Amino acid sequence: MLELRQVGKRFGNTEVLSEVNFRLGPGEIATLTGPSGCGKTTVLRLISGLEMLSQGEIHMEGRLVSCPQWGVPPHRRHIGCVFQEPRLWPHLTVRGNIEFALSGWTRNERLARLEKVAQWTGLTALLDRHPCGLSGGEARRVALARALAPRRRLVLMDEPLTNLDAASAQSLLDAVLQAWREEQFALLYVTHDPAEMQSLDARILTI
C-alpha cells in the first residue's frame, strides 16, 4: 500500500529527515513514534503530498507518487488525513463537513455513508450543529468522520488525541478501531503515548 525509500527532507540547511525506509501493507496498522521534533509530522506531510521530498521516493500501491522536485498533487493521492487540529469549515454543519468529502457521490450514497460514519464516531445526534457548538472531542470526531467518509485505503493520523481528556480520547480511539475492523484500511498513526500504542497493538516504527 505504501513504501518509503531513502526518504529525506531538508528545510534550507537543516536536515529534518534522512534515509527513512518502511513499508505499510494493505489493512495494516503501524504507529510512528519518536521524540518531539524528530520529523514525525513531516513524514505524514511528505506522504500526503503537502511537502516535497529532498531525496528518495514514495510509492503507493506500486506507483511512484513523490520524488525530489515532483509529486502527485495531494487531492489525487486519495489519502484520509486527521491532524492535531480538526480544521473544520465553520460555516458548515457537522453533516456538511462530512459530506464535503463525498463530492461526486449520489445523494443516496452520501446519505448511507453519512449514517455509517456518524454511527462509528457517535455523531448521529450532532449532525445539524455547527463547529462553534462542539466540544474539542466532538470536533475531533467530526474530523475523523470526514477522513473516513470517502472510503480511503490509506489513512494518516497525526496525534489525534492530543489535549483530549481520557474519556474523549478513548472514545475517539474506539471509533478509529471500529472503523478499521469493518473496512481494513491501512493506517499510519503518529503518537508518543505508550498507552495508545498498546491499544492499537500494531507494528511500531521509531524515528
Q: What is the pLDDT of residues 40-80, one digit of tens each?
A: 999 999 999 999 999 999 999 999 999 998 999 998 999 99
Phi, psi dihedral angles at 123 (to 5 degrees): -105, 5
Residues 119 and 127 sit within 8 Å (Cβ to Cβ): no
DSSP notation for 82-104: E-SS----TTS-HHHHHHGGGTT
pLDDT for 172: 86
**pTM for this structure?**
0.91
Q: What pLDDT is stored for residue 163 in this prediction?
A: 80
Q: CATH 3.40.50.300 in the chain, residues?
A: 1-79+152-207
Residues 1-79+152-207, CATH architecture: 3-Layer(aba) Sandwich (3.40)
Question: Which residues lie closer than 8 Å to 28 by C-beta, 6 or more apart?
Answer: 1, 186, 187, 202, 203
Residue 18, class by beta-carbon neighbours within 10 Å (0-12 exposed, 13-18 middle, 19+ buried)?
Answer: middle
pLDDT of 171: 86
Q: Whose CA is closest to 175, among 203, 135, 137, 133? A: 137
Residue 82: per-residue pLDDT: 92
What is the largest distance, in Å, between two alpha-carbon atoms of the chain?
Answer: 52
Cell digits for 120?
A: 462509528
**Predicted pLDDT of residue 164:** 82
∠66-61-55 over CA atoms, to 5°? 25
Nearest one of 178, 131, 185, 139 to 160, comparing CA atoms:
139
For 162, residues 6+ apart whose C-beta sits below 8 A from its C-beta are 84
For the chain, residues with pLDDT lower than 70 are: none
Q: Which pLDDT value is given to residue 187?
A: 97
